[in-house]
Amino acid sequence: MKLFYYSAAGMVAALIVLWGALILDSANILQQMSVLMHYIEYLFKPSER
């Protein structure tokens, strides 16, 4: 159940980041998404730290 809350919080954070990126700099959104995906992978793979 804890994992569900983490993933839900991650999705909300992703929406906020993407929405902010669209408003601030739409040309930079792909880089924002890429950084976010790497960060999410990092969060969900603690063995690689």
Question: Is 30's pLDDT higher than 80?
Answer: no
Question: Do residues 32 and 18 make contact, with C-beta atoms less than 8 angstroms apart?
Answer: yes
Give this prediction's pTM: 0.40
Q: Is 45 left (phi over 0), alpha (psi -120 to 50) or beta?
A: beta
Q: Mean per-residue pLDDT for 1-29?
A: 78
- Cα separation, 20 vs 14, in Å, equals 10
* Confidence at 27, pLDDT banded by 50, 70, 90: low
Helices 29-44/2-24 angle, 10° precision: 160
Question: Do residues 6 and 43 make contact, with C-beta atoms less than 8 angstroms apart?
Answer: yes
